[in-house]
Amino acid sequence: MDKIHLNEMTFYGYHGLFPEEKKLGQRFMVDLVLELDLKKAGESDEMSYSIDYGAVYQEVKGIVEGIAVNLVETVAERIAQQLLASFSLLQACHVKVYKPDPPIPGYYKSVAVEIYRERVS
């Protein structure tokens, strides 16, 4: 399957279990791999056979910067469900949500959750 990658989209959200996370917020980064057939898009040079990256970005932004939830897992699941519902050409997606500054003891470059969801026929 062909793939579109959107890497290191960065947003500011209020997700987390700790009260200070919901009050102060923090950065979240999202990587996406969108799976779909891009042959017609490549041959025709027509956007109607692909997915608008800007529209994808806005969908993800709305979720990450929207209603606060406790778990990064929930953020990832909401992104996958929304993208599959919004883009009919999308067959499957990999969603990776990073929390670069987790409020946990020790040094971490980031913590992340990665999921894969497919369209159910």
Longest CA–CA separation in the chain, Å = 53
Locate 92 and state its tokens: 């499957």
- Interhelix angle 53-64/72-86, rounded to 10 degrees, is 140
**Helical H segments across 1-121, by residue range:** 19-24, 39-44, 53-64, 72-86
- Catalytic residue from among 3, 23, 61, 99: 99
To the query of whether residue 40 is one of the catalytic residues in this protein, the response is: no
Residues assigned a catalytic role? 99
